[in-house]
Amino acid sequence: MNRFEKQKLVINDILTDDDLELVTELNSWVKKFSTTSGRNIGFQLHNRFKQQDLFIGFDPEETIQSLVISMKRKYPDTDDDTEILEKCKECLVAIATSDGIIRSESSLLNHEEVLKWKECYFKAQHHNSLLDYFNALLKQNDPSAEGKQVIVNTFSNINTDVESCLSNKFSCQVDKLSTFKSEAQFRNRIKHFWLESDKQILIFQCDMTTDNIECIKLAKFVIGQLHGKYLRKRQNNNKINETPIKHACIILHIHHEQETPFVSFNFMCEWEQITIETLQVQDKPLSSLLEKSMADIINTTYPFEDILKQELLWCLSCMKYPRSQKSLDHIKYVHTYIHI
């Protein structure tokens, strides 16, 4: 035997035959969900969507496989594979993009099922804003709870004021991963939250274009490690009712045009995952524009006057004029007209 022989173990190697059937069925569902049927002319011209365009961080080698294992571990007494399948689909929908969910109406998936998951996404899963999500996530008051660990995918800028997004409703320790110069400094900051601070939520913001992927994974590991130490301290001191419940959140700031490798966390990490495209509370959330005609939206939800005020100055700034007195006179006229 060659003592230097190497063996590679992948998630598929630990799946049972029953698990593999679920994986096959979920793979088929994901493919249908993310493939446009071509009924729409616009989609026929841009029918190049991938599974990763719909499900943020989707990894064909790990995502579904780890999800099946996680759901079976979470619901050990459930013998009904149909129920496990639905739970898996619900988790996948949670990491989907809003435009992907809307686009799915032209997908190969059964139309009734598309409507079901569309309603789940916009009405049950709280994707409108970070405040909307946290209000739903942390509403429980069970003193024996262990606290939530959440990974949030977003297209909001890395400089977004998270505490402002939460309307200062929750006490938070907010840091950017890029500000730390060493692992020791990072560990001390996390330890401060779990063992010394009275803050309720630990939030780390990570820029997917600048922060090292391995550093992000290390951050998640360290947070989980110290969270476990905090829970053991609560139990050993027999002061569960007196010690506050604390939560951890990693926000992954993604760029729409990003082509660099995306860090994917499989579902066996025990962290809840969700995509909230815009962290701030929106005056007109996308969910309020659905199921309405263009005329209804302009007459009620989003008046044309508001659109004009918002977009007109930007449109004019994009116009280029030749260098002449006539152009200058025209610009002065337009400027005067707008202010009137």
Between these two residues, 207 and 332, which has the higher pLDDT value?
207
What was the pLDDT predicted at 158?
A: 93
Mean pLDDT of the chain: 83
Confidence at residue 47, expressed as pLDDT on a 0 to 100 scale: 52
Q: What is the mean pLDDT of residues 252-267?
A: 72
**% of the chain surpassing 70 pLDDT:** 83
Q: How confident is the model at residue 337 (pLDDT cuts 50, 70, 90)?
A: low
Confidence of residue 336 (pLDDT cuts 50, 70, 90): low
Phi, psi values for residue 79, rounded to 5°: -95, -10
pLDDT at res. 93:
95
Helices (H), the chain: 17-33, 41-45, 51-54, 63-74, 81-94, 98-103, 111-119, 130-137, 162-165, 183-195, 213-236, 294-296, 304-317, 325-339
Mean pLDDT of 191-214: 90
Question: What does the pLDDT average to over 250-279?
Answer: 81
Q: What pLDDT shows up at residue 41? A: 44
Q: What percent of the chain has pLDDT over 90?
A: 40
What pLDDT score was predicted for residue 274? 95
pLDDT at 144: 53
Q: Are β-strands 272-275 and 149-154 bridged in parallel, bridged antiparallel, or unpaired?
A: parallel
What's the rounded mean pLDDT across residues 120-131?
A: 92
In tens, the pLDDT along 223-251 reads 999 998 888 887 776 655 567 889 999 99
Name all domains of the chain by residue range, CATH numbers in brackets: 11-124 (no CATH), 130-275 (3.40.50), 303-339 (no CATH)
Residue 278 has pLDDT above 70, yes or no: yes
Question: Residue 206: pLDDT above 50?
Answer: yes
Beta bridge partners of 274: 152
- Is the pLDDT reported for residue 338 higher than 90? no
> For 19-44, how does the pLDDT look when each residue is reduced to its tens digit (9 = 90+)?
999 999 999 999 999 888 765 545 44
Judge whether 219 and 207 are in contact, CB under 8 Å: no
pLDDT in tens, 51-82: 888 899 888 888 999 999 999 998 888 878 89
Residues in the chain: 340
